Structure 1
Amino acid sequence: MQTSALVPYARLPRTYHDRHVLTSTVDAFGAAHWLLTDRAPEPGADRHPFDALIVSVQDDGGVEVTELSALRARFPYLDRLPDGGFVVASARARRADADADANGRQVQVFDALGRETWSFAVGDAIEHLLADPSGALWVGHFDENPAGIRRWSATGELQWHSGDVPGAGWIMDCYALNVTDSVAWACPYTDFPLLEIRPGRPVRVRANTVRGAKAVAVHEGRVAFFGGYGDEQDRIAYGELTDTTVEPTGVAVLTRPDGTPVGRHRVLARGSRIYVQDEPFTAWAVWDLSG
């Protein structure tokens, strides 16, 4: 089968390689961020808030460091807001879970100096959290929360929710989510339709035969799905958009820049790009559908 290689994108400076990577992301403007602590959390360890460090690598190679105090989420999602602040959220929001306190403050918003300015809850079972260029937060849930896909303001105001989508039904598990400046694309379980979500318009639903993708990239009428079940975890499936369907056009295997298998990884998509980070999670690589 044809292969397609990732391209190196951003790397955590070696100065910080002795820290534990809680999570990492690439924001809406292309900067990469790592959320670091001194050591990995241990089961049954102290559940009190803790300090953390965000190391940001800009697309020009510049490095910024932001110190956060009183962080609550041990297994968090992270993104940067357009004002230079950050949002950190726990994937779980059950009252019995240590990452959500008694007031349900699952999401913490920090300013550019690392000071907490806001907190709120968006619901249990987060699978994706992506901030768009306006600062709105798009949250996709996995199947333990039937909320599907929702859009929130950075102060916790619910702005949109998927609900019962005509032609797709109720969104029970958001497998893939891609957020750009004007549109969100999603691919939910169980039939994996491609959803085109534009604020103020009905959701456009396109039938799709690709199953189990964990990321989707879109560019000028073309689409690429990354991931799948079993031995298709490193698959790239290409397609073209019609008004109502995704028409398959080809398949390839995505590899590391050196041609070796990707292995265990994080993945996220923005616009035409799919970003992949494999162990030890200190570097991001990119694959671009527009290229």
Structure 2
Amino acid sequence: MWLGDTKVTYVPDGDVRLRPRELLLGSDDAVWAAHPEYLDDAGHLVASIGALLVERGDRALLIDAGFGPRRWPAAPDGPRGVIHGGTLPERLAHLGRRAEDIEAVAFTHLHPDHTGWASHPLPDTGRPVFPAADFLVSAPEWAPYEPPAGPDRPEEIAALAPRVRTVEDGQEIFPGVRVRIGAGHTPGHTEYVITSGGRRLIAFGDALHSSIQADHPEWTSAFDDDPARAAEHRHRLVADLAAPGTIGFGIHFADVVFGRVRLGGDGPAWQPVDSTEPTDA
């Protein structure tokens, strides 16, 4: 999708199957019975995993980095079912973009389904996937991993540390791309607002886990660090996504990752946008 001179592309890596009632607290069986389109044949909510490629001329930024070359079985309880990644490098190649040319990977937060390929080397060569990239993390998100907590960092976080550069709210990290911190899911959960050609796209990470939350921002996620703050932020975000000229990018939204919010109408508030649709509509 083009926003002025900036091209944004969803790069799939894998997916995760989620137990819907355990994930979205406040939902119930009646809701999901009325909306089977969100679920697979086993009754799991299907959530995509991947990254957003932002290109301007010869320059390229990646927002998040998928899950990486691995697969976890379903957790015995709680919201998470089977999760796997593995396709992001080949998808980048298919798009004609070398991972070596990515100048920075900007994380929405530091959960493993977002740090993936930045923490794990290529299985066949052992080489880093993004050898030239800085890893951009909001200062409050990175704060728990600074010394003296550093030695207790999880292995995946420690792998990122030598190349982490912290960023602040409002900072421009790439032409037309600014940081917006909206804690609640994690202490420094970050959105990226991309503005170009008079249009705006908000890559909102895990502030919303499913497009159905555009109709129910009061439904908090079981993964939210601070449920009250997360719900408060979701209400503001949904209202912001309804503003004219605004598109949202929901990294976990399966086959409807790009969309607009239309409030007060018939049908779901999240209205998918595909790459052929004019973005100034």
Which range, TM-score by smaller chain?
0.3 to 0.5
| Richer in strand (by share) | 1
Which is bigger in relative contact order (C-alpha 8 A, separation at least 6)? 2
| Richer in helix (by share) | 2
Give TM-score scaled by structure 2 length.
0.35
Give TM-score scaled by structure 1 length.
0.34
